[in-house]
Amino acid sequence: MKTTSLLRRVLALVAAALLAGAACAGQNCEARRPSIDSMRRDLALAASVSRQLDDLAQRDGTRVVLIARAGQDLSKYGLRYSHLGIAYRDEAALGGRGAWRVVHKLNQCGSDRSTLYRQGLAEFFGDGLYLHEAGVVALKPELAARVVDGLKGDALLATLHEPHYNMLAYPWAGFYQQSNQWAIETLALLADPGVVSRSTARDWLRRQGYRPTTLQIDAVTRLGARVGTAHIAFDDHPFNRRMSGQIDTVTVDSVFAWLERAGLGAGRCYPASI
C-alpha cells in the first residue's frame, strides 16, 4: 500500500510538471497572493481592452467578440493563449453608459466540475495572468447580430453546458467539456436555430471547418495525469491516436485561426501588453 501511494504521488508530480496548463482553459488555482503591481497591471489591461473594444464598436459597429487571456505559458505547445470567453457590449450597463461583459466557463480549481460565469473585463483579466495581453477576434456583423441577444440569457447559455470537465476533452465526443469547447459549441447554438444539442453543435462546427489542435503528450505524462488529477482524462479520445500520443483538443489559437479561415471573424486584434 505504501509503495502504491508513493507511486501515485510521484505520478501526480510528473503530471503537474509536464501538464501544467497543457492547453487549456480553466481556473488558475495556485495558492498565491497577488501583488499590488500585478493587480494594477490586471486593471490597466482591462481598461486598455475596454477602450479598444469601444473604438471597434464606434468605428465598425462591433457588438460581439471572442476574447482570450494568457493565464499560463503554453509556448512549448506553440500556443499563445490559454482561455477563451465571448464578450458582448451591454448597452444598459452602468446607467446606460454601456460596458463589455464576458461569458465563459471555468473549472472549479482542479476538480472535474465546472461553472459558467458572466463577468466584467476587470474580473476576467484578474484571475492570474502569465502575460498581460489579450487576444480578440470580432465576429462578422451578420453573425454577431444572430448571437448577441442570446448572450444575455443565463438559461440559454446553460443549454449546452456539460459540468463534467476535462481540460483536454476530445472535441468530437460529448462525455466531457472544457472551457474553450463550451464557447464554440455555444456560439454554434446561438448562430443556427438547427443546433439544439451538443451533438448538433459538433455537426455545425464540422460543417464550418473547425479543426482542433493536436498536442503531443507521451504515455508517461498521460498516466501521471490520469492517476494524479481529477480534471484531466483521455478516455474520450480515439484509442489509436491516444496510444500514439496525439491528443486533439480545443485551443484558443485553433478557434481564432478557424474564425478567420471560415470567414466568421472580422480579423484578429492583439491589444497591447501592459
| Predicted pLDDT of residue 273 | 61
Q: What tens digit of pLDDT does each residue of 24-42 get?
A: 555 555 555 678 888 899 9
| Predicted pLDDT of residue 76 | 87
Contact residues for 64 (Cβ-Cβ < 8 A; gap 6+):
86, 87, 88, 138, 139, 143, 144, 147, 148, 151
- Give the predicted TM-score (pTM) of the model: 0.86
Strand, coil or helix: 98: coil
Q: What tens digit of pLDDT does each residue of 218-271 get?
A: 876 776 555 457 788 999 999 999 999 999 999 999 999 999 999 999 877 766
Strand, coil or helix: 45: helix
Tell me the pLDDT of the chain averaged across its residues.
Answer: 86
Distance of CA 68 to the CA centre of its chain: 7
The confidence band for 179, taking pLDDT boundaries of 50, 70 and 90, is very high
> What is the average per-residue pLDDT within 159-185?
96
- Interatomic CA distance for residues 232 and 165, integer angstroms: 8
Q: What tens digit of pLDDT does each residue of 55-112 get?
A: 999 999 999 999 999 998 999 889 999 999 999 999 877 777 889 999 999 997 778 9
Q: What tens digit of pLDDT does each residue of 114-147 get?
A: 999 999 999 999 988 999 999 999 999 999 999 9
